[in-house]
Structure formats: C-alpha cells, structure tokens
C-alpha cells in the first residue's frame, strides 16, 4: 500500500487555438473538461504535489485513488479554461511557473504563447492550485554550469515567494531533463520535491526528486486518457518517447563530458 502507484498528469497549454510552438502539448478546453469529468467518474481524488510527497515521507495515508493534475510553464489558458473546470469539481492541482515567462516585472520575453500574469497566478493560488517552480528562463538545467543552475533555481523561488508571499515547495524540471547534479541542486536550494516526466506512474521508491509523470497531449483521446489514469498500456503508448529519450540522454551525457574536459584544459 505504501508504494501504490499514483498517476501524475502533465499538462501544458489549455487552448482553443494554440500556436505552432505549443500545439502538440496543448489540450482543447472541451477535451480538458471531459477528462476532468472522467477523473471524477472513476473515483480519483486529486491532490497537489506537496501533499503527495508529504504523505509518502511520513507514511500518512493518502485519499482513495490519489491523482495529480499538473501544468507546466504558465500559459494563460490554465486560468481562462482550466480553473473553472477544476473549481467545478473541487479538484486540487499544481502549476509550475517559469517566472521569466510570466507577464510582469520579471518577464524575460521567452514565453511560447500567451502567458499568465501575476494577478492570475495569485487567483489560481487562492483557488487551491499549488504554485511550484519551473526555473526562471526554462533552460535545459543539466546543460548549465553550477552557478547558472543555482541562479535559475533560486531566482525562480525568490520571485514566487515575493509575488505570492509563500515559498514554493515543489519543482518541475524544464523539458523533464535532470541529472544527479541537478537533483542535488534542487534539494540544496530548498525545494522539497521535484517532478520529472518519464511517462510512467509515480511511486514512492522513485524518491522525492524524480517522480514520474504522464504526458497529456492534444492527440490524447478520451479512451487513451482512461487507460493512462488507470495505468494500463502506458509502456506501449510511450514506447517511442522512451526510446528517443534514452538516445538523447546518451547524446547529452557526451556533451557534458566534452564541456567538462574543455573547462579542465582551460
């Protein structure tokens, strides 16, 4: 029972007309509403990231059929389209914000589509949506040097704390990329847990800094969605993704070794 698998759904944009940069990982508002209704019909109880991790740390019982609903980056449709549906069902969720992409005084201009502003983020936080960190400028964290890596993590945390009055406890790795060095930095800079991708169900044994999520795409039909939340056929559905991820991981490790060797020679 202690290591019962938990589906953690990873959403990005919820939009009627997403642009080309976000289309594949966006979800139509009607599809999102149908998916949330199915979660309720199947008897799942959405919790936020901090509650799941705290329960697993303390062995405190989780509610019946726990499930996480998470959003990455900070797209405006999370407020416009997703929030009313979450509120209708009384569902908790977690939004991981790239602080440099949120409209306002910290905006670096890198957002891929229409982004939230900080007033909207505050409204989400007031409506039982946990706000977590997703770095400041959304880089590939495992490709950064130590100083830049820590700045991305700390600056993100400080901005969220300044804007919301609450220090974020949870983190999600941009692009899902991490390494032992990145995970240690996330822990050392004060985040209590972090989510990867992996396209598998989350389990306690994965550890609090490598919890896996399942990607929900625009192409995810309702029957496939049911299989994902029930934990059926996940390996088959994401076989191509996993193969590409493993291959790219080898390339990324080779790049890191090469850069380290260059720095050593210099």
DSSP secondary structure, 81-115, as one string = IIHHHHHHHT--EEEEE-GGGSBSTT--S--SSSB
pLDDT (mean) for 174-198: 97
Return the pLDDT at 135: 98
Q: What is the pLDDT of residues 51-69, one digit of tens each?
A: 999 999 998 899 999 999 9
Q: Residue 170 above 50 pLDDT?
A: yes
- What average pLDDT score do residues 176-182 get? 95
Read off the pLDDT of each residue in 32-58 and give the average, rounded to a whole number.
97
What confidence tens digit (pLDDT) does each residue in 201-211 have? 999 999 999 99
Specify the pLDDT at position 249: 43
How much of the chain, in percent, has pLDDT values that exceed 70? 87
Say if residue 223's pLDDT is above 50: yes
pLDDT, position 79: 98
The CATH class of 8-233 is alpha beta
Q: What is the pLDDT of residues 85-105, one digit of tens each?
A: 999 999 999 999 999 999 999
Mean pLDDT of the chain: 90
- 104: which strand partners? none
pLDDT digits (tens, 9 = 90+) for 121-160: 999 999 999 999 999 999 999 999 999 999 999 999 999 9
Share of the chain above pLDDT 90, in %: 85
Full DSSP string of the chain: -TT--B-EEEE--B-SS--TTTSTT-B-HHHHHHHHHHHHHTT-EE--HHHHHHHHHHTPPPPSSEEEEEEEE-BTHIIIIIHHHHHHHT--EEEEE-GGGSBSTT--S--SSSB-BHHHHHHHHHTTEEEEE--SS---GGGS-HHHHHHHHHHHHHHHHHHHSS---EEE-GGG---HHHHHHHHHTT-SEEEEEETS-B-GGG-TT-EEEEE--TT--HHHHHHHHTT-SHHHHTHHHHHHHHHHHHHHHHHHHHHHHHHHH-
The more confidently predicted of residues 242 and 10 is: 10
> Is pLDDT above 50 for 161?
yes
Q: Is the pLDDT of residue 174 over 90?
A: yes
Q: Which pLDDT does position 232 carry in this prediction?
A: 87
Domain boundaries, the chain: 8-233
Average pLDDT over residues 240-265: 45
pLDDT at 234: 72
pLDDT of residue 235: 61
Please, which pLDDT band fits residue 236 given cuts at 50, 70 and 90? low
């Amino acid at each position: 029972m202690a290591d019962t698998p938990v589906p953690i759904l990873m959403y990005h944009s919820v939009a009627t007309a997403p642009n080309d940069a976000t289309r594949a990982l966006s979800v139509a508002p009607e599809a999102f509403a149908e998916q949330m209704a199915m979660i309720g019909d199947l008897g799942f109880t959405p919790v936020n990231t901090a509650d799941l991790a705290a329960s697993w740390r303390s062995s405190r019982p989780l509610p019946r059929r726990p499930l996480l609903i998470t959003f990455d980056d900070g797209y405006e449709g999370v407020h416009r389209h997703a929030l009313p549906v979450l509120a209708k069902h009384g569902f908790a969720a977690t939004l991981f914000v790239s602080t440099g992409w949120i409209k306002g005084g910290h905006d670096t201009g890198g957002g891929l589509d229409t982004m939230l502003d900080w007033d909207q983020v505050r409204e989400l936080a007031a409506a039982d949506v946990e706000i977590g960190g997703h770095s400041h400028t959304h880089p590939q964290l495992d490709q950064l040097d130590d100083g830049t890596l820590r700045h991305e993590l700390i600056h993100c945390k400080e901005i969220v704390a300044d804007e919301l009055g609450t220090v974020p406890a949870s983190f999600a790795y941009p692009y899902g990329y991490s390494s032992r060095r990145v995970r240690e930095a996330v822990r050392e800079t004060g985040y209590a847990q972090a989510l990867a991708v992996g396209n598998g169900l989350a389990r306690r044994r994965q550890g609090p800094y490598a919890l896996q999520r399942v990607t929900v795409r625009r192409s995810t039909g309702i029957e496939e969605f049911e299989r994902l939340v029930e934990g059926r056929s996940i390996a088959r559905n994401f076989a191509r993704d996993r193969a590409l991820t493993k291959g790219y991981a080898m390339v990324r490790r080779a790049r890191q070794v090469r850069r380290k060797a260059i720095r050593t020679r210099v």
